[in-house]
């Protein structure tokens, strides 16, 4: 049995020892992980409080906030884990997030009765300084630059 040095093991993704690990949470990715983490906590807390205290007021909107929170949690986790599989799941999370914020943003203007209170994605994230609208674009840009197999300048 051939022993793999510790340094090499730490840089390989699980399941594919020949491929280099792309650190999604390094460099600018650290800021992205932090922002996603903050949004995960904020969206989870807000949605649980809204659902727990007055779910009947806007069940659709509050439930969508919980969905957003779950997507932020998945993206944060994948950015922290790194590797090919986590990269793929992070891309899917960011795409779902982008579609969600655009769809809910439009819907919150078209059918205001569904959104009597602000939620994470309503009005394109206006209550959060429009960061929910910008965040998936930043996430996808970062993921594109760190995609497995991408040529990087030294």
Per residue of the chain (154 residues), give pLDDT as tens: 444 444 333 344 444 444 444 577 778 888 999 999 999 999 999 999 999 998 899 899 999 999 999 999 999 999 998 889 999 999 999 999 999 999 999 999 999 998 888 889 999 999 889 999 999 999 999 999 888 876 555 4
User: Quick check: is 151 in a domain?
Assistant: no
User: Quick check: is 135 in a domain?
Assistant: yes
User: Quick check: is 152 in a domain?
Assistant: no
Total domains in the fold of the chain: 1
Angle 58-59-60 (CA atoms, 0-180°, nearest 5)?
A: 95
How many Å apart are CA 125 and CA 39, to the nearest integer? Answer: 11
Q: Which domain holds residue 55?
A: 24-145
User: Quick check: is 13 in a domain?
Assistant: no
| pTM higher than 0.85 | no
Q: Which residue has the tokens 């630059």?
A: 145
User: Quick check: is 12 in a domain?
Assistant: no
User: Quick check: is 133 in a domain?
Assistant: yes
Return the beta strands (E) in 32-146 as ranges.
none
Helix axes 84-110, 131-145, angle to 10 degrees: 160
Determine contact, residues 122/104, Cβ cutoff 8 Å: yes
């Amino acid at each position: 049995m051939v022993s793999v040095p510790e340094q090499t093991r730490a840089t390989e993704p699980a399941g594919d020892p020949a491929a280099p690990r792309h650190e999604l949470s390094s460099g600018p990715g650290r800021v992205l992980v932090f922002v996603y983490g903050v949004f995960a906590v904020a969206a989870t807390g807000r949605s649980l409080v809204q659902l727990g205290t007055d779910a009947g007021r806007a069940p659709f909107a509050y439930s969508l906030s919980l969905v957003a929170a779950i997507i932020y949690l998945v993206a944060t986790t994948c950015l922290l884990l790194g590797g090919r599989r986590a990269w793929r799941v992070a891309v899917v999370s960011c795409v779902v997030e982008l579609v969600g914020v655009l769809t809910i943003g439009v819907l919150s203007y078209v059918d205001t009765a569904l959104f009597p209170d602000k939620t994470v994605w309503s009005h394109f994230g206006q209550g959060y300084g429009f960061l929910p609208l910008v965040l998936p674009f930043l996430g996808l840009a970062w993921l594109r630059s760190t995609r497995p197999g991408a040529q990087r300048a030294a």
